[in-house]
Amino acid sequence: MDRRTLLTGGTFLVAAALTQDAHARSERVDATQADAELMQLAIDQAKEGDYPFGAIIVREGKVLALGTNSTKRLHDPTAHAEMMAIRNFLSGHEPEELKQTTIYASGEPCPMCMGAIVWCGFQRLVYAASIDQLATKIGQIDVTARRIANAAPFIDMQITAGVLSGNAMQLFDTDKK
C-alpha cells in the first residue's frame, strides 16, 4: 500500500469517526406556540432589513436583542441579521449570557452565522425558512445549520426548523432590493 492510499483511507476513517460522534450534537425540538409568536417578531424584523432576514435573541420569553440584515446600509457583507442581533446583544450583555439564550432567525443561518451561533454557545436555534427554500429566491451556500452544529463536538444545541416558514418566504415577493 502506498502513502497516498494510506492517507486517503486514514482521512476517510477520521472523517467517518468525526461525523459519527457529531450526529448526537444537535437535537430536533418541536415548535411551541411561544416559538410561533417569537418567530413572528423575527419576521417583522426581516421586513426592515436590506434583504428580508431578521433575528431576535430571547431568554425565558424576554426579547433581549434584535437584528436585521444591514449589509447594504453598513457596506458590510457580514452584517447578516443573526450577526447584528449578536452584536446588539453584546453591546449590553456579557458573552457568557448567550449560553442561556435562544436565537430566532427568519431564515436558516448561513455557514458564517451558524459558526457564530455555535461559537457563542446558544442553547437553541429556531428558524423559519430552510436553506433549500431560501435558495429558490436568493443565492445560498448549501450547508445546513444542523450539519454545522453536528460538526461541533463541544456544544449541544436544540434546533427547531420551519416555524412560520411560509410567512418568511412571502417577504421575498415584496423585497425592496
Q: What is the mean pLDDT of each run of 10 residues along the chain (177 residues)?
A: 42 37 67 96 98 98 98 98 98 97 98 98 97 95 95 94 97 73
Residues marked active site are found at: 82
67 phi/psi in degrees, rounded to 5: -150, 140
Ramachandran angles phi, psi of 155, nearest 5°: -140, 145
Contact 149, 118 (CB under 8 A): yes
Q: For residue 12, what pLDDT is reported? A: 36
pTM, to two decimals: 0.85
Q: Say if CB 81 and CB 67 are below 8 A apart.
A: yes
Residues in the chain: 177
* Confidence (pLDDT) at 144: 96
